[in-house]
Structure 1
Amino acid sequence: MIATRIFGPEISAASAILRTWAEEFRDRGAEVTVLTTKPPRGAIVNDPPGIEVRRASVKRDRQQYVRGYLSYMSFDLPLAFRLLFSPRADLYVVEPPPTTVGVVRVIAALRRTPYVVRAADYWSEAAEMVTSSSLILGTLRRVESWGLQGAKMLFAAHEPLIDRLREVGVTTPAVPIGFGADTKAFHYDGQTPPKPPVFVYAGTHSEWHGAGIFVNAMHEVVQQYPGARLLFYGNGEEREGIRARARELGIERYVEFHAPIQPAALSPILAGATVSVASLTPVAANEYALATKVYSSLTAGCPVIFAGVGPTVAFLSGHPQAGVAVGYNVGAAAAAMIRAAVSPVQPAERAELARWSASQYSLNAIARRVVDESLAIIGK
């Protein structure tokens, strides 16, 4: 039984990840139930066959996203009763936030059911970007630690995150599973680099992403490439601030904002872009956060410019064919964008990049490892 506030058709990395996990459990003979939310307005539900998806109403923000603790609680409190009165499961699989993990720990104890957690981030430190309340942060740390400690296994993004969890006292067994792309949706179809250049930011643009750096960089780029465009796909608390900054710099006609779109629709946009751009601000929580949008871009044959900190820097430094990492610095970001425009990666190299990425970073391979570990926990 998978408990998650976010699932397809909602557009997010977590949706794609958890769908592949659910499908892998199903393909291995498990009966799979997903307890999730009713989708955003206008979304077309296309649940995977052979998987029971139960949806409940939830509070969404103005951008139709389940974000913030009022929204989380609108999912978590009913979830307690949904779990309590559902047929008993062999295993719970939980997607954060920490409050959801905490609810599952309580019900798991009552029903004597083990649970595992998809641990992509250390939420308590990320929360420091949006609040300075010591009461809120202290409570969140305790709830998060308590929820993670009760799990049988943490499926962590990577080793640096596991190291950080160990530093704060979380001793639960953890497996670094990495990130990947939905290779069914993202692929390269032979597109040529555009002229003038097109830069794509696809995903959430929140405080800790710091995507506004690329608007500032575009102010320099358009001096050399007057027809260049920067396209944002997704949503986030920073959107209006980024839009206002583009107007302030007088480059609003070069910066476009689009709603989130399904991966299959995003793939040709990435494949036809000069490069994609991604960022993480230089704060403590991001030292072990990874920009997951990188993998989807690469699988679509699109190299990446990353500005910021964390494991993405080492990844791109170790795989120069995938793109370039620069510091969180406007001048460095602008210079990288201009270099990409001067010498765009050509179709043959893009096709090879897509093949390499699909072979190395597939969500399906990650799902197989998760299911192997999960079935071992319950002795099946």
Structure 2
Amino acid sequence: MLEAVARGFAAAGHQVVVLTTSPPRGTSPVDLPGVIVRRFPVLRDRTGYVRGYLPYLSFDIPLLFRMLFRRRADLYFVEPPPTTGAVVRTVATLVRRPYFYDAADIWSDAASMATSSALVLRLLRLVEKFAMRGARRAFTISSGVANRMRELDIHTPTTVIGFGVDVGVFRFEEAKPSDYRYFVYAGTYSEWHGAGIFVDAFARFSVDHPEYRLVFVGNGTDRALLEKRTAELSLDSVDFLESIGAAQLATLLASADAALASLKPGGGYDYAFTTKVYSSLAVGCPTVFTGIGPTKDFLEGIDPSRRAGLAVDYDVDAVASALASIAADPVSRPRRQALSDWARQSFSLSAIADTVVRESLSGARK
């Protein structure tokens, strides 16, 4: 999303400077034509993620000086964590420039799944409100997040832009031959995702379908739990792969019977949208989603003839049954191409980025 926005500003004739981190070890930096990218090393956990108070501060404290001691911008665009938003608000106020906030989600709600400390949650809530309230405008992916902002007394003008996918990368392609059939869970698997349900459901499913594998791609705080549960169930048909590039992921999805996505109910984060479904649909790969909220409503609202996938309750038996349904009636290649064509036309990330650029430039002039 941020890459698309940066490209959008550059395409509109503006000089764009991105202040970001040095990539994780073993990962090559990505250069954007027409965009100046400035990188700074940060603290990462053993999986390569920037997660936790000290890692956030290792980016945010240098960011304060990186912004102050360079030419002031006409506008700033920032995404969470809230601590970064707070730094940008502070600098933007000092230099009297507007900033715009990518309110992808509510971090202080999501944090309740990671900590029970009332003090930590209260402080994070205060920082997040500070970061959001000072923005000239916020952008968010769903009305659920916008409504939650109002509940928290955050009245920053907000545009619901939805989310999209890089249609230049995620598109239909002929599946490469595979020695086995498989399902793919790609992305982060943290506490609020509850991805462990797929391990239990796959164990039941694989009794009658031993030819299948379950592939996790990415990382997250629940990885150790997922690996432990896999060992407890004596499953040797579950793979854990490190994060891969978008092009590699598109190829992996092209051969998968279905992509998997989840959102664990009851964590105070039920309004969140699992945006990974856009990537799988753009490739033409149906999605099995388990949980509640706008992702389920989204999939159930798609014409069944498109074969976009299944949305089921957060229940092991329901998920196992959904996997069995996909296995019994896999989506044909022509149908997958039709699904891809529809999704790529409907959820282009560049079109969404254009909206962000247009409204940001308009807001900056006020």
Superposed pair shares fold, TM > 0.5: yes
Q: Where on the TM-score scale, by shorter chain, does this alignment land: which range?
A: over 0.9
- The question of 1:122 aligning with 2:106 is answered yes
Q: Mark the runs of 5 or more structure 2 residues left unpaired by the alignment.
A: none
Q: Is the 8 A contact 2:113 2:267 kept in 1?
A: no
- The question of 1:102 aligning with 2:77 is answered no
Q: How many residues align?
A: 363
- The question of 1:250 aligning with 2:234 is answered yes
- The question of 1:84 aligning with 2:68 is answered yes
Q: Which runs of 4+ in 1 moved over 4 A?
A: 192-196
What CA distance in whole angstroms lies between the structure 2 residues aligned with 1:219 and 1:185? 33
- The question of 1:50 aligning with 2:38 is answered no
Of residues 286, 291, 311, the one that matches 2:294 is 311
Q: Is the 8 A contact 1:122 1:285 kept in 2?
A: no
Who is 1:141 aligned against?
125
**Paired residue type of 2:300:** S
What CA distance in whole angstroms lies between the structure 2 residues aligned with 1:272 and 1:285? 35
Q: CA RMSD in A?
A: 1.3
What CA distance in whole angstroms lies between the structure 1 residues aligned with 2:137 and 2:212? 47
Who is 1:69 aligned against?
53
Q: Is the 8 A contact 1:282 1:308 kept in 2?
A: yes
CA-to-aligned-CA distance 1:177-198 (integer Å, 9 cap, x gap): 1011111111111328978531
What CA distance in whole angstroms lies between the structure 1 residues aligned with 2:110 and 2:188? 14
Q: Is the 8 A contact 1:234 1:259 kept in 2?
A: yes
- The question of 1:350 aligning with 2:350 is answered no
- The question of 1:364 aligning with 2:350 is answered yes
**Paired residue type of 2:341:** R
Q: Is the 8 A contact 2:22 2:29 kept in 1?
A: no
- The question of 1:27 aligning with 2:17 is answered no
- What's the offset of the Cα at 1:207? 0.7
CA-to-aligned-CA distance 1:249-287 (integer Å, 9 cap, x gap): 111x11000000000011011011000111010024332
- The question of 1:278 aligning with 2:264 is answered no
**Paired residue type of 1:260:** S
Q: Mark the runs of 5 or more structure 1 residues left unpaired by the alignment.
A: 1-16
What CA distance in whole angstroms lies between the structure 2 residues aligned with 1:140 and 1:243? 30
What CA distance in whole angstroms lies between the structure 2 residues aligned with 1:351 and 1:370? 29
What CA distance in whole angstroms lies between the structure 1 residues aligned with 2:8 and 2:162? 17
Q: SS in structure 1 opposite 2:13?
A: coil
**Paired residue type of 1:130:** A
When the two structures are superposed, what TM-score results if normalisation uses the length of structure 2?
A: 0.97
Q: Percent identity?
A: 49
What CA distance in whole angstroms lies between the structure 2 residues aligned with 1:46 and 1:257? 25
Of residues 316, 330, 338, the one that matches 2:316 is 330
CA-to-aligned-CA distance 1:11-42 (integer Å, 9 cap, x gap): xxxxxx10110001000011000001111111
Aligned pairs (5 A) from 1:201-216 = 201-216=185-200
**Paired residue type of 2:280:** S
192-201 or 320-329, larger mean C-alpha shift: 192-201
42-51 or 100-109, larger mean C-alpha shift: 42-51
What CA distance in whole angstroms lies between the structure 1 residues aligned with 2:180 and 2:152? 48
Of residues 146, 153, 168, the one that matches 2:152 is 168
When the two structures are superposed, what TM-score results if normalisation uses the length of structure 1?
A: 0.93
What CA distance in whole angstroms lies between the structure 1 residues aligned with 2:24 and 2:363? 35
CA-to-aligned-CA distance 1:196-254 (integer Å, 9 cap, x gap): 53100000011111111000001111111112100000001111110110110111x11
What CA distance in whole angstroms lies between the structure 2 residues aligned with 1:225 and 1:201? 18
Q: SS in structure 2 opposite 1:58?
A: coil
Who is 1:11 aligned against?
none
